[in-house]
A and B are shown apart, each in its own frame.
Chain A
Amino acid sequence: MLQYFLKRLVSLCLSLVAASVLIFLTLEVVPGDPAAYMLGINAQEDTLNALREQLGLNGTILERYLSWAGGLLVGDFGTSYTYRTPVAELIGERLWVSLPLALYALILSTLIAFPAGIWAASKRGTLADSGVMGVTQLGVAIPNFWFAMLMVLVFAINLRWFSAGGFPGWEDGFLPGMKALTLPAIALALPQASILTRVMRSSLLDTLGEDYIRSARAKGLTKGQAMWRHALRNALIPVLTIMGLQFSFLLAGAIIIENVFYLPGLGRLVFQAISARDLIVVESVVMLLVFAVILVNFTVDLAYAWVDPRLRRRR
């Protein structure tokens, strides 16, 4: 178990280093002179030099990478050129919107998908099964930001149950914040829940065809008992994989959905940074999101070991 954990941990660190190199190369080396790029063509030579100095652009590429990566390790993302504040602060504020949103959506999608998938699998071939499959077919096909717009139209503009956008902040309490995040989370969760339902159902059906289910039935277990005690945990293995992948889609999706609801999250930050050519902010946000994706994959690997005893001892 420890060995498996250490091996995944090393792999996690290597992925992070590789990802940071990739991001650094794309955003700081490819543009040539980032300072000139950020200031545009009309920049004065002394302003340029000042910015170069501030960004630490005067060293070699390796030195610049090392100082950037070293900063990341201690939570120093550099200073935003446009906001004139430390990027870490900027991101910290926005993270309190984006992260709860993605988690909220993940929980919603799991809460919908598990029962729906299990139900459809246990009613295989019936009208109920076809019904669930039909709905998920739509759910997979619907663009989440459009679904969000429709929900704004119905629940905010017509019914006035929710506000059409904006975020009150967590200072006013937990519930108002959650309420503002509810429509966005539903919009994010729906397509993911549909995918997860389908995966859950087909994985469960696959497992139900396994020999050990037959063994369990021969012991005298009912169909339902065989499913809950033997099939479900085995079926979880592919479901975990998909849940891991989904988190990265949820994070990316959150960036888009924030735009629909005018939420002050990482999405808004990164798009403003792009139009302001603030490469440092873009770089930091991308790095943070990639870090989150890699971390989630790591967690999923650990979850495998928790579910599957075969992984605990051997490699």
Chain B
Amino acid sequence: MSLLEIEGLSLEIHGEPILKDVSMQVEPGRVLGVIGESGSGKSMTAFGVLQLLPNGSQCRGCISLAGQDILTASEKDLCAMRGRDIGMVFQEPMTALNPLQTIGAQVAETILVHENVPKSEAFERAADALRRAELPPERFPLSRYPHELSGGQRQRVVIAMAIALRPKLLIADEPTTALDVTTQAQILDLLKRLVAGEGMGLMLISHDLAVVADLADDLVIMRSGEVVESGPAHGLFRNLQHPYSRALLEASGHVPERSGAAQDKALLKVRNVIREYQSHSHGWWGRTTHVRAVDNVSFEIRKGESLGLVGESGCGKSTLTRAILGLEEIQGGEILLGGTPVVSHHRVNRDVRRRMQVVFQDPYGSFNPRWRVDRLITEPFHLMDSPPFGAEREAAVAEALESVGLSAADSRKFIHEFSGGQRQRIAIARALIIKPDLIILDEAVSALDVSVRAQVLDLLAGLADRFGLTYLFISHDLSVVRSITERVLVMKSGQIVEEGPTDRVFDKPQHAYTKQLVAAAPVLPADVA
């Protein structure tokens, strides 16, 4: 008998069907990977197991844990079961902990809720749980508050909370999505060791095929509330039946085709750039400390080239982006576009700015919700001395929209009428409309589902060939950077630590940090991709 048995589970929230006839099993000591894009119902399945569903939820079917029926259990029995028999790890470590309580108290609470033991004993066992989650109390005392820990460390606290009572089943819902690659690898390793060492069953939920492929013994692929494919992981990848799962696999390793080649002329030159912040870390009578976000960075982008810039959060890549765009002043060095400085005499050079545009990450926050599409995408016309108007403007709008795969008729719509992928296309149209030379793509596909991401990458590749565009592609996602760039820069703590052709850097990394980064990046098994 399986540890967790979900059989024909259907879920409705306020009458709206969310899950349809979902079945899956978790065996003790094994990892079940649940894969799906947003809206596939994978997280709702997990919340169904814990019976922590939103108000107005209606479940049918059967969920049983070690033979005990969950759907018919009383709330009292469920409370006794949660935390003791099932532990859960969530996506957002930054918000999953109570900011007002120490980590020790929060881990000990799992024990105190279920067992009638003295506080001191609960804290001793909490220390033990933290040690098992590899956050040794010698270095991270129980009296720490969540805000004193990093994201990865907080996720370890959440894991310690979940495993404090050695539950039979651990559910991890996108446990590493909010973390950097190297932290992600460490957390995944930890989960792997816990499953092996404690004989727990693990239900690992993710949108990322590569994350799951590495870890899972069994796989379930979900789409719009239904299971489309399931089976042992080993055979499944090579033998996918459902067209959706095949498309998903293809999209995950997708490499857009490119034909254009870079010219030998430098378009953007970044020379010894320094960007410092002043921070008053000790109140306003304390010392002023200087934080160097960008530390003596130099590189060039040739015309027609696609250059990648990778690094983890806080490495300074966003600051560098803003400096190149002229949104922040630099304290040293120079930035030249086509030989002209971006900023001269503390003023941004309009002619230079006209030649570069940017596409941001968030498809939802990138547009003023009160403007129509035509006004949104023509905003860069502000940079032109005589912007087109009337029929000419309409033609420009239509051309930009059509070149990103939308229609001219979309110009009268508001932004909320579009999906995430479409919005990102509109953002590209806005960047294209004044025909820039350089487009900076700041995590431009990071928020998109894999299948949509593959389409947008294809679009970008096609546009580069068609308009002879140059890209600076900034991302934390190595696989995306690898698929679309020719050359790559690796950034760490404000400095470029390695630079070279993309394939060379990823296949034979030289710098220790790059090696660490490449090793940490989850990859699909070689025989399937």
Contacts and interface: CB of A to CB of B under 8 A. Distances in A.
Direct contact of A and B (CB under 8 A): yes
Interface of A: 3, 6-7, 210-212, 214-222, 225, 229-230, 233-234, 307-310, 313, 315
A220 B283 contact: no
Contacts of A211: 90, 92, 95-96
Contacts of B284: 7
10 contacts: A7-B283, A211-B95, A211-B96, A212-B97, A218-B83, A234-B100, A309-B99, A309-B100, A309-B147, A315-B283
B97 A218 contact: no
B158 to A, nearest CB: 7
B358 to A, nearest CB: 31
B62 interface: no
Nearest to A215: B96
Interface stretch (B109-117, B302-310, B459-467): B109-117
Please provide the 3 A-B residue pairs with the shortest distance between their CB atoms, ordered closest to farther. A220-B83, A211-B95, A219-B83
Interface in B131-152: 145, 147-148
A313 B82 CA distance: 34
Contact of B52 (A7, A218, A234, A309): A218
A222 B80 CA distance: 9
Q: Is the interface of A mostly helix, strand, loop or mixed?
A: helix
Nearest to B147: A310
A3 B161 CA distance: 33
Contacts of A219: 82-83, 109-110, 113, 161
A219 B98 CA distance: 13
A220 B79 contact: yes
B82 A215 contact: no
B287 interface: no
B507 interface: no
Contacts of A220: 79-84, 110, 113-114
Contact of B90 (A214, A233, A307, A309): A214
Nearest to A307: B100
Interface string B96-107: 111111000000
Contacts of B194: none
Interface residues of B, number: 35
Interface of B: 50, 52, 75, 79-84, 86-88, 90, 92, 95-101, 109-110, 113-114, 145, 147-148, 158, 161-162, 280, 282-284
B65 to A, nearest CB: 14
Nearest to A231: B98
Contacts of B82: 217-220
A9 to B, nearest CB: 12
Contact of B96 (A212, A233, A315): A212
Nearest to B52: A217
Nearest to A220: B83
B424 to A, nearest CB: 27
Given A215-B158, A218-B87, A220-B83, 18 more contacts: A212-B95, A214-B96, A215-B97, A215-B161, A216-B98, A217-B82, A218-B82, A219-B82, A219-B113, A220-B79, A220-B80, A220-B114, A222-B75, A233-B100, A308-B100, A309-B99, A309-B100, A310-B99
Nearest to A3: B283
A211 B106 CA distance: 14
Contacts of A7: 283-284
Nearest to B105: A229
Nearest to B164: A219
B99 A215 contact: no
Contacts of B113: 219-221, 225
Contacts of A229: 109
A157 to B, nearest CB: 49
B75 to A, nearest CB: 7
B287 to A, nearest CB: 13
B445 to A, nearest CB: 26
Contacts of B87: 218
A221 B99 contact: no
A234 to B, nearest CB: 6
B151 to A, nearest CB: 13
A210 B95 contact: yes
A221 B79 contact: yes
Nearest to B86: A218
A183 to B, nearest CB: 39
Contact of A234 (B75, B92, B98, B162): B98
B379 to A, nearest CB: 35
A234 B83 CA distance: 23
A216 B100 CA distance: 13
Nearest to A6: B283
A307 B98 CA distance: 12
A178 to B, nearest CB: 36
A142 to B, nearest CB: 33
A144 B96 CA distance: 43
B99 A234 contact: yes
Nearest to A310: B147
A309 B97 CA distance: 13
A6 B283 CA distance: 10
B98 A230 contact: yes
A229 B100 CA distance: 10
B400 to A, nearest CB: 40
Contact of A218 (B50, B75, B95, B283): B50
A24 to B, nearest CB: 27
Contacts of B50: 217-218
Nearest to A212: B98
B304 to A, nearest CB: 45
Contacts of A308: 99-100
A216 B113 CA distance: 10
Given A220-B83, A220-B113, A315-B283, A309 B145 contact: yes
Contacts of A3: 282-283
A302 to B, nearest CB: 16
Residue among A214, A233, A234 facing the most chain B CB atoms (10 A cut-off): A214
A310 B94 CA distance: 14
Nearest to A213: B98
A215 B109 CA distance: 11
A176 B464 CA distance: 87
A222 B161 CA distance: 16
A232 B97 CA distance: 15
A310 B97 CA distance: 13
A58 B96 CA distance: 66
Nearest to A222: B79
A223 to B, nearest CB: 8
A214 B82 CA distance: 11
